Structure 1
Amino acid sequence: MSVTRFGLLDDGSAIERVSLSDGGLQVNLLSLGSIIQDLTFDAGKGPQRRVLGFEQLGDYVAHSPYCGCVAGRYANRIAEGRCVIDGQTYQLTRNEAGRTHLHGGEIGFSHRVWQILDHGPQHVTLELLSPDGEQGYPGNLAARCTYRITGEGELAIELSATTDRATIVNLATHSYFNLDGTEDILDHVLEVPATHYLPVDAHRIPTGEIAPVDDTVFDFRTGHALRAAPGKIQPAYDHNFVLGRARSMAPRLAARLIGPLSATQLEIRTTEPGLQFYDGARIGPLVPGHGGRRYGAYAGLCLEPQIFPDSPNHANFPDAVLRPGETYRQLTLYRFSRV
């Protein structure tokens, strides 16, 4: 484990990088956004990079599409940036096309500097204090994130939060995975054991329907490659899959992803009821990433455990309200192995 200076923000804030390693897994983490900046895993052919990221701090500030961060206070989308808590309507910032609240707003948790509270050979804990009224949210919120290498090829991510006033909370990890280091992830094989998913409107807001995956392009119960068959249109994925209707006490299987060239598998288990799958179709080659590579469409994909998007505006979705005296908790496990 080591802690080094990664860079300075324009306001002079120092951003630290924490490196953890054990059992063939090495993870570099930033105090900006609690970001996974780099992650390598040795599946028998030497350490290989498994996530997208950037080498320069300025590129995260100016260009990163939430790359590797912890998104919040409410990850994903809220329609028109409005929510009602205990009969009171709150207007959150609308930072997507002027109408949608996305990943916590203009300055969400991904753009904030987290403080390192504790660290050891295989773990680090970071904390962020979000004041009442930030981005329109009620309540002073204290959020914590612990990254811990817990075994051979396993990274545990523990997220928690407390508040002094009723508010909404939905934290999500937002790494872009590419297990093979290829130009795109379309030949990766994805398995998601969900029987239902959330259809969305033209603004990627859930319609409120919880639809079966049967006979749709959203059926990943049997793992298959993401690339469309010859002559077929490539499906567009930025949808939430239903793992359950509430959080589970213990992490359950959310997804398996296989990189066929590297023979590497990533298994994700989580306590969250939803999994957002984004295929990375809108990634643009703005600036060089790791190794000088410019990331284009489908350069990586996101598998984000979370509460359902726009949950505060749908009575049939899981409750996202956190109240004083309660503790929000999420545990997500990334398990890397050789196929």
Structure 2
Amino acid sequence: MTDEARITRNVFGTLPDGREVERVTLRGAGGFEARIITYGAALQALLVPDAQGRVDDIVLGHDDLLSYLLLRKYFGATVGRYANRIAKARFTLDDQDVRLEANDGAHALHGGPDGFDRKLWQIVATEGGAQPSVTMLYVSPDGEANYPGRLDVRVTYQLTGPMELAITFSARTTRATVVNLTNHSFFNLDGLAAGTGILDHRLTLAADHYLAIDETAIPLEGPPHAVEGTPFDFREAQPIGARIRADDAQIRCGRGYDHNFCLREGSGVRFAARLESPRSGRAMELLTDQPGLQIYSGNYIDATVSGKGRVYRQSDAICLEPQVWPDAPNRPDFPSARLLPDEVYRHETVYRFSIAGGAA
């Protein structure tokens, strides 16, 4: 494959104000391919071969821009300024009360009603070669969504191996602020063409504790809860659906899994999760340098949205979102999301695909 063939750009659609949305395609080996659009800096498609060599898209999304505009579901999007929830849409920073825009009941979720997933990002660099990449930039003005400081954000998608996708975020601020960025892809390792759900996927997590939540998905006061003896114990591989309907107060609060798992401490990029499909044989390892991993089992996907030729239903996909813990700006006992002008926010996550044993 030539360097030119490893990366291509084309117009994906046009916004109502006339600005073009581009799609960049990064090609690896054996049909492995990542497609990224500049609207929301989103992973629009991820093509991965199965145990039989058949290639299929494994992430939910849309084939047209209008569908992304009409219904906000965060499919594959870059989420910020603060991924997950901030309780009561407010926090205190350097003795200043910061009031955000609530969009999840009383709380702020994924940057508020007009977060980074709703922005048009600018392509600032592309690289071909054996490890093709694209880097996108968004400049968030001081006070946007009431967050302090101008934030210059970059996200790089790069194929770092034959079947490996790395996503790297960085950000700088002009004032003290809080930052928590993540990618919000919905994965189904059976492939979208199969029309199956993810409850038989096997999940392993490098987490001994998780954050229990209240009925509005805000972490409870007190320390993280141990996973041992609960439906949240994925220290060894378990089918996602094995305990998802257990008579458990936390399962009821999340209508399934919608919880932050507290990853084991360590430095740098390290193993966080493994997801396997016994049907297709695809396996995905997730490595990250973040302290938490939000697991969302697609509990609120309710057949009101469709894409890529199918209607999306509950448990059609699972999100594994590396990030700082939810509501950290209000919780001094949690890992900090604070960013100062002389610092650089960095977040790296790697998705490494392989073929698992026992494929049908």
Give the CA deviation at 1:249.
3.9
TM-score normalized by structure 2?
0.90
Work out whether residues 191 and 222 of structure 1, in 8 Å CA contact, stay in contact via their aligned partners in 2: yes
Runs of 4+ in 1 over 3 A off after TM superposition: 228-235
> What is the CA deviation profile of residues 238-257 of structure 1, one whole-angstrom value per residue up to 9, with x for unaligned ones?
00000146xx5421111100
The one of 262, 268, 276 aligned to 1:242: 262
Q: 1-side partners of 2:123 and 2:243: how far apart? A: 47
SS of 1:80's equivalent?
helix
Work out whether residues 212 and 220 of structure 2, in 8 Å CA contact, stay in contact via their aligned partners in 1: yes
Identity of aligned pairs, percent?
44
Name the residue aligned to 1:53. Answer: 61
Q: 2-side partners of 1:229 and 1:119: how far apart? A: 44
Name the residue aligned to 1:192. Answer: 205
Q: 1-side partners of 2:48 and 2:162: how far apart? A: 10
Work out whether residues 150 and 174 of structure 2, in 8 Å CA contact, stay in contact via their aligned partners in 1: yes
> What is the CA deviation profile of residues 212-246 of structure 1, one whole-angstrom value per residue up to 9, with x for unaligned ones?
1110111000111012369955941100000146x
Computed over aligned residues only, the root mean square deviation of the Cα atoms, in angstroms, reads 1.5
- The letter for the 1-side match of 2:257 is Y
> What is the CA deviation profile of residues 131-179 of structure 1, one whole-angstrom value per residue up to 9, with x for unaligned ones?
0110010000000000000112100111000000000000011000000
TM-score normalized by structure 1?
0.96
Q: 2-side partners of 1:232 and 1:131: how far apart? A: 45
The one of 68, 92, 97 aligned to 2:100: 92
Work out whether residues 206 and 264 of structure 2, in 8 Å CA contact, stay in contact via their aligned partners in 1: no
The one of 78, 96, 119 aligned to 2:126: 119
Give the CA deviation at 1:286.
2.6
Alignment of 1:1-339 (within 5 A): 1-24=7-30, 25-43=32-50, 44-97=52-105, 99-121=106-128, 122-181=132-191, 182-208=195-221, 209-228=223-242, 232=246, 235=251, 236-244=256-264, 248-290=266-308, 292-339=309-356
Give the unaligned 5+ runs of structure 2: 1-6
SS of 1:294's equivalent?
strand
Q: 1-side partners of 2:34 and 2:310: how far apart? A: 19
Q: 2-side partners of 1:229 and 1:73: how far apart? A: 33
Give the unaligned 5+ runs of structure 1: none
More helix by share: 2
Q: 1-side partners of 2:59 and 2:307: how far apart? A: 10
Q: 2-side partners of 1:56 and 1:63: how far apart? A: 12
SS of 2:315's equivalent?
coil
